[in-house]
Structure 1
Amino acid sequence: MPVRKKVKTDQESHVMGDASYDPDQDHDQVRGLRNKYRHEELELGLDGTKERSEKTADELNETVARVNQLFNEVKGTSEAIKDSRILNIVTEQAHTKARAMKSGSGAFDVDDFIQKLVTFMGGRRAEQLDEDDDDDERENTRAAQGGPLDWESIARKALAHSHRVPVSDFMLGPLSIEQKQRAAAKRTKIEKNKADEKKPQAITEDDITRSENETTKNVVVISNLLQQHMPVNLFRFIVNPNDFGQSVENLFYLSFLIRDGTCAMTISDDGEPEIFACERPTTDEYANGLKKRQLVMELDMATWRRAVEVFDIREPLIPQRKKAETRIGNKWYG
């Protein structure tokens, strides 16, 4: 099979210039080049519509010659990929034909050839000894088995059919190299002192002191306070000037009243957000067009401080609550 080699004539060099890659190549030329490559793919059965056709050695040579001519016009990656794909298929078919070559009446057996090659270079001499050989000859043969193969003998045979200049590593291959076995890694077992081991603390149901539902209780308290002070400014109602955390909690508890429809918010004539208690809407009111709207409100520390300053909040309308505590085992968590 011819070896791929991109040769440029003087005329081609003048047309292509120095750069082999040209993204601005003429579209008509690219289209025609792709059609030619597609024709070669169809000939090899790469389109998937039919099985790949088996070419003869001469046909493979002709395919490579045609593709070589097309390769002189390739200036883009897409066409180069098509070219590479075709050459891979041609190489596979050529390799299959090489392994199926017959010498006389039998097929060429690579394994048998290697065995004969090793024997020719002085390996496996013990297999060729007869039972009548004396003990000295057997000992000499066994001693020769462990030595390297005689590559010079096969090199002299090869030089008779090759014009290549021999080098120092000529015909040096893996036939005389033994495969090394990887030694198993030794794992050192670490002995642990059981006295240093610490077991997790076992917690039973009796160790957890259950408290009443704080959320439900606080929602009821806030609902009662809202009925006493309504309508009231939203920030004046929920902001605790002494505790930012409880101000956030007050807004959280108030959201339950808004969700249930027992609290509503409106904008006063002064532009302040006011909340007031109301009766929970019925199903008929929702059916007649009443809509419940909820929104997400952010209460960060900067907003909390600004509300305390703007509305001059001195005392909280919602009394200060004690921090809830939970006992787990022998420790208390707030």
Structure 2
Amino acid sequence: MAYENFGNAGPSNANDIVYDPDQDPDERRAVRKKYRDLKAEIDERQNNTDGAAEFMLETVKVADGLFARVRGTGEATLDSELLVKASVQSAMLARAMKSGSGAFDVDDYISKLVIFMGGRHGVKEPEVVPAEDEYEDDDDTQLDWGRIGWKAMARSHRVPAMDFMLGPLSVEQKKRNVGKRSKLEKHKEDRKKPQEITEDDITRSGNETTKNVLALEQILETTGKINIFRFIINPNDFGQSVENLFYLSFLIRDGKCALDIEDGEPKIFMCEPPTAEDYGEGLKKHQMVMELDMATWRRAVEVFDIRQSIIPQRPKAETRIGDKWYG
């Protein structure tokens, strides 16, 4: 591995990591090229275990020094990809390590750890421990992490400290409860089927939207130019006021009705629908979104002193499904 010295190995200082979008392009390309070269070398040595540990250590040192020159998100992404690749390769090397005559099996190692700590009905091995810390033989499923601690203390010079370790070794497997399912299968007659509905059970009414749009068109022709709120607001029914605005939008969309601001008031009036020639001469449609909430509805009733709706009150539509009616 022939790379110049990029700095001392070790954790990078957060104060040295500065985002610089104006970094020299040549330097940015050089950093990216070195990251790609490191990834390529890891791929080439994927199946070569000779000196793999030293190679990985040297790669991480070079990458750490190279990271001091990173000033952009693209180069930082390459750095993270390199570390992930190095971690995966190191894990594969650890699995390929030889222990005696056989390979190191992580799953078998974890299984033996669980048995050693008293899990899965394992038999505890005799060992010498202080008299005040003798362990009881019981059938508790909780793992005895203290046994691992005493084993580790014999090989370690660190001062023992109290800590908590929670992980997959201490998770109890959930048992599948099949009691409720078998109970339901025994009493299938107790189940209720959903109501079957055919086309004959649904009473279809005429197209209410088309009919109401035509009704609003006829009313607007008789009223002439009028304030939009005076036209659509029903002082006794907020829901129908919203419906009136909805039906009016179809007239404006088709070009039969126009909206204009006159003396500070929004007014609507009937007009001739534009032709293809009008659009060819540059006429454009303008769309807008109008909000009509309950506060605006109450304010319009109060400001314009609306006592009676110009658009007649419509009966509520009802639909019959089976033997029931829905409004």
TM-score by length of 1: 0.52
- Deviation string for 1:210-265 (max 9, x for gaps)? 11111000000000000000111110000000100000000000000000000001
Residue number in structure 2 paired with 1:279:
272
Residue number in structure 1 paired with 2:183:
191
Residue 221 in structure 1 maps to residue 212 in structure 2: no
1:196 CA drift (Å): 2.6
Residue 290 in structure 1 maps to residue 283 in structure 2: yes
Partners of 1:296 and 1:56 in 2: how far apart? 68
Q: In terms of Rg, which structure is larger?
A: 1
CA contact (8 A) 1:258 1:294 kept: no
Relative to 1, partners in 2 of residues 1:185 and 1:202: Cα closer, same or farther, differing over 3 Å? closer
Equivalenced residues, count: 227
Residue number in structure 1 paired with 2:322:
329
CA contact (8 A) 2:319 2:325 kept: yes
Partners of 2:87 and 2:301 in 1: how far apart? 80
| Structure 2: gaps spanning 5 or more residues | 1-7, 17-26, 69-78, 103-149, 155-172
Residue 314 in structure 1 maps to residue 319 in structure 2: no
Kindly report the root-mean-square deviation, in angstroms, between the aligned alpha carbons of the 2 structures.
5.1
CA contact (8 A) 1:23 1:76 kept: no
CA contact (8 A) 1:257 1:263 kept: yes
Partners of 1:326 and 1:204 in 2: how far apart? 14
Residue number in structure 2 paired with 1:140:
none
Match of 1:110 among 101, 105, 117: 101
Counterpart mapping for 1:1-334 below 5 A: 22-23=13-14, 47-48=40-41, 51-52=44-45, 60=51, 78=67, 110=101, 187-188=178-179, 190-192=182-184, 193-268=187-262, 270-334=263-327
CA contact (8 A) 1:234 1:273 kept: yes
1:46 CA drift (Å): 6.0
Relative to 1, partners in 2 of residues 1:49 and 1:326: Cα closer, same or farther, differing over 3 Å? closer
Task: Report SS of the residue matched to 2:196.
Answer: coil
Partners of 1:191 and 1:238 in 2: how far apart? 59
CA contact (8 A) 2:318 2:325 kept: yes
1:76 CA drift (Å): 6.9
CA contact (8 A) 2:225 2:269 kept: yes
1:47 CA drift (Å): 3.4
| Structure 1: gaps spanning 5 or more residues | 1-15, 26-30, 100-107, 112-166, 171-181
